[in-house]
Amino acid sequence: MRKPIRMVLATGMVAAGLLAAAPPAQADVVTFSSGHLDLVDIAYEAGELELGVHDEDNDVEYAPDEVKIVVKRQAKVTVPNDPAFDFLGTPGVSQVWVLPEIQNTDLVWPGIAAEEVEAGTFTADALALHVRSVSGPGQLAIYTENAVGQPTVLVDSGDGLPDTIALTAGDHLHANWAFDRAGTYRVTFRATGTLAATGQRVTSEATTLRVVVQA
């Protein structure tokens, strides 16, 4: 039996409304808890600076919103008993979760890369990575250690942001990423540089990386 045309139209309108109200499909999120990852991978393409996440082990590039970085509970350590590390908490007492500068195959080995930027593109091959904000239950510090274990702080959200990491085209930097509380963090970055040919300043879009620190 044919439905009255008004019922057919009404049914179609309801279906169309449901389709219109449906949320857009979400891209699959890939979770990393170990492996060599450039958590910030800077590229310059088609006149724009772009930030991604590069899986070095499998040579796969992701947008930052396509990944979740997990800091395992095995990363939890006591702050070294040295006043130079007081930016992490109380030396010898406080505990932090550290993705280390020196590779530990059980944890994510975090890199910051500008290898995809060709030499000569930017003035003096200089780039700047700006850590704009860190949201979450605690603070983030990014730092390196020299041959005798003394730290150089690159980023410390505990004393205010933004902070800037100076990079050179072709760089591949490894540093310690330390979090002082368990929970979910969102770290927002921008990159900037000045084009050698024109003197124009180029700025990437802000991108946000999600990091989950296990208790």
Quick one: pLDDT at residue 22? 46
Domain membership of residue 42 (yes or no) is yes
| pLDDT means over runs of 10, the chain (215 residues) | 37 41 62 98 97 98 98 98 98 98 98 97 98 98 97 97 98 98 98 98 98 98
R_g of the chain computed on alpha carbons: 22
What is the reported pLDDT for 189? 98
Note whether residue 6 is domain-resident. no
Q: What tokens were used for 125? A: 């091959």
Q: Is residue 3 part of a domain?
A: no
Domain presence at residue 22 = no
Is pTM beyond 0.85? Reply is yes
- For residue 28, the model assigns a pLDDT of 87
- Does any domain span residue 5? no
pLDDT of 13: 41
Task: Indicate whether 194 belongs to any domain.
Answer: yes
Which value, to the nearest 10 degrees, does the dihedral of the CA atoms of residues 164, 41, 65, 202 take? 60
24 within a domain of the structure (yes/no): no
Q: How many CB atoms lie within 10 A of CB 163?
A: 19
Containing domain of residue 130, as a range?
A: 29-213
In a domain, 66, yes or no: yes
Half-sphere exposure (CA, 13 Å, Cβ side) for 134? 26
Number of domains in the chain: 1
* Nearest Cα to Cα of residue 209 among 143, 138, 131: 131
pLDDT of residue 27: 59
